[in-house]
Amino acid sequence: MSADKRAVPVAYLDHGATSWPKPQPVIDAVVRALTELGGNPGRGAYAMALDASRAIFEARRACAQLLGVADSRDLLFQSGCTAGCNLMLKGTLKPGDRVVVGSMEHNAVARPLAHLARLGIEIAVVKADRTGLIDPDDVERAVRQEPTRAVVCQHASNLTGTIQLVGDLADIAHEHGAIMLVDGAQGVGHLEVDIAALGVDAYAASGHKGMLGPQGVGLLYLAPGLEADVQIEGGTGAGGSESLEMPAERPDRYEAGTANTPGIVGLGAAAGFLAGEGAAQRDLEADLARRLHEGILGIEGFRVLGPPPGVPRVPIVSAVHERVDGDRIAFVLDRTYGIAARAGLHCAPWAHDTVGTFECGAVRFGVGWGTTGAHIELALRALHEIVSS
């Protein structure tokens, strides 16, 4: 088969965008949902519908256990982390509020905040350093300047792999009467996330990245007592249908419409898989990302973005070359070597501007489930040959 007709990459290194392949328990759970759980959960008292409702309940509980959430009703299923970020931000912030936010945010946060700014919410951006790290002292100074409703920060960068000091930022926010809102798209799975220990008020998570679930499903944690304005209204499985108001109780208040049963059940299976295999997988990812990082630094002309070797990061390694454009590198990696990587701005123009790559972008490699040492060696050999030709 010619390279331009290759359907499956030889080396998939785009886990920062989505994980692939999925662990077999996730695939099996999705297949079971499609073949055995066809009823509409919460919408009927017949056996198939009840089985679907029970499967969703169990998936929510598995996700809550993985993330350290005491009451699974505080964990809401969303269509993805982007939907969770929109509910988290638009549902809790009002005109006149002030928000302190880091400069490394993905567009899943930056664009909703831009919308809110047009409605009268003040946005104060704290710039990270060139490695992508936000200094908690800078955040504290920003929060002290004026009354602040919320501190908003990602858990880890989809560009540099930088892990933010979320727990410290949450402490600062709470000391000054603000709430802490976190975009955890790159956190769960690649990091051991304990939401209770972090002390955050809201945490949006992707289901299909490091968590290894299907696409089209994500999570949003809302702390007890923190309510968000409902963004989508409609049918739910709770209470009577006679009221035109959404039910008050969680999670039904925030989950209008027919649930994505296959996605949710698959996500629950992924949570169970990570509960058993997650620690070993994180160790492997860290080792492979380190090897890739150090190997790229050994190729003349490359600069690797983010923390230096030896500083923990999620397994994302982005690089720029002094002579060869990142788009060209990614194209040749795919067409000649069968390596899936992503070039460009990665839906994170703030982050690229922060680290000085807004004009040129970068080529990004994401390590994850299924990545092997052979994939890393192939990528390093390919990069050397591309920039040497």
Whole-number Cα distances in Å, 206 to 76, 113, 173: 12, 19, 24
Q: What is the structure's pLDDT at 170?
A: 98
Tokens at 293, concatenated: 């990082």
Contact 66, 118 (CB under 8 A): no
Question: Which of 81, 153, 347, 360 is the catalytic position?
Answer: 347
In sequence order, what are the beta bridge partners of 151?
100, 180
Q: What is the dihedral of CA 262, 267, 270, 271, to 10 degrees?
A: -140
Distance CA(332)–CA(382), nearest Å, equals: 9
Q: 229 in the Ramachandran plot: left (φ > 0), alpha (ψ -120 to 50) or beta?
A: beta
Residue 63 annotated as catalytic? no
Cα 352 off chain centre by: 18
Q: Sign of the C-alpha dihedral, residues 213, 278, 66, 268?
A: positive
Sheet holding 150-154, edge to edge: 75-78, 218-222, 202-206, 179-183, 150-154, 98-102, 122-126
Output the CA–CA distances (angstroms, integers) from residue 189 to 20, 223, 291, 368, in the order listed: 14, 21, 20, 9
The token duo for 172 is 């600062």
What is the pLDDT, as a whole number, of residue 2? 45
Q: H-helix or E-strand containing 153?
A: strand 150-154
What residue has token string 């077999």?
Answer: 24
What is the model's pTM?
Answer: 0.95
Q: Which helix (H) or strand (E) segment is 378 a member of?
A: helix 373-388
With residue 365 as reference, give the H or E element that holds it: strand 362-366
Q: 85, 157, 108, 98: which is closest to 128 by C-alpha?
A: 157
Q: Residue 127 in 3-state DSSP?
A: coil
Q: For every one of its 389 residues, what pLDDT tens digit does the chain have, with 9 covering 90 and above?
A: 344 556 688 999 999 999 999 999 999 999 999 999 988 887 778 898 899 999 999 999 999 999 999 999 999 999 999 999 999 999 999 999 999 999 999 999 999 999 999 999 999 999 999 999 999 999 999 999 999 999 999 999 999 999 999 999 999 999 999 999 999 999 999 999 999 999 999 999 999 999 999 999 999 999 999 999 988 888 777 667 778 888 888 898 998 888 999 999 999 999 999 999 999 999 999 999 999 999 999 999 999 999 999 999 999 999 999 999 999 999 999 999 999 999 999 999 999 999 999 999 999 999 999 999 999 999 999 999 999 98
Decide if 344 contacts 327 (C-beta within 8 A).
yes
CA dihedral over 25, 73, 194, 294, signed as positive or negative: positive
The domains of the chain, with CATH numbers, are 10-23+278-388 (3.90.1150.10), 24-273 (3.40.640.10)
Tell me, what's the pLDDT at 5? Answer: 58
DSSP symbol at 66 = H
Phi-psi region of 224 (alpha: psi -120 to 50; beta: other; left: phi over 0): beta
pLDDT at 271: 98
